[in-house]
């Protein structure tokens, strides 16, 4: 039988995964690339000078298209998936486990 996970165990696991994540706090180069990419996505291109006697207009067609499609993509990958599932310890808690699993998954935990 599996050992019950305590809140402290869960927090320790989350901290360890956060430290292992790529570029979370300590990777300046990756962080600056992400910031620049987000600026470009928003149409702010401070490091690209406009040519003389040329338009300085910036279009947001690509970012608009991405923002339009994104909700449908998120729904396609998240609908009807049980992200979390509890397992009953014995026959007496089957109903509670089903309700708990359903509540957590629908609650967007």
Can you give the pLDDT of all 109 residues of the chain as single tens digits?
567 888 888 888 888 888 777 666 667 888 888 899 999 999 998 888 888 999 888 889 999 999 999 999 888 777 665 666 777 788 887 777 777 766 666 655 4
Q: Is residue 54 part of a domain?
A: no
Taking the C-alpha atoms of residue 109 and residue 104, their distance in angstroms, rounded to an integer, is 6
73 and 106 share one domain:
no
15 and 28 share one domain:
yes
Domain that holds residue 92: 79-109
Structure-token pair, residue 1: 């039988």
66 and 86 share one domain:
no
Q: DSSP states of 68-107 as a string?
A: HHHHHHHHHHHTT--S-----SSGGGHHHHHHHHHHHHHT
22 and 66 share one domain:
yes
**Number of domains within the chain:** 2
pTM greater than 0.85 (yes/no): no
Taking the C-alpha atoms of residue 38 and residue 67, their distance in angstroms, rounded to an integer, is 13
């Amino acid at each position: 039988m599996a050992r019950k996970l305590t809140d402290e165990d869960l927090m320790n696991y989350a901290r360890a995964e956060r430290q292992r994540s790529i570029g979370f706090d300590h990777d300046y180069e990756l962080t600056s690339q992400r910031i620049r990419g987000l600026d470009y996505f928003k149409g702010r291109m401070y490091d690209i000078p406009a040519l003389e006697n040329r338009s300085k207009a910036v279009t947001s067609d690509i970012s608009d298209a991405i923002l339009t499609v994104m909700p449908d993509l998120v729904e396609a990958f998240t609908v009807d998936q049980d992200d979390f599932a509890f397992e009953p310890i014995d026959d007496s808690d089957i109903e509670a486990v089903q309700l708990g699993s359903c509540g957590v998954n629908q609650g967007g935990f």
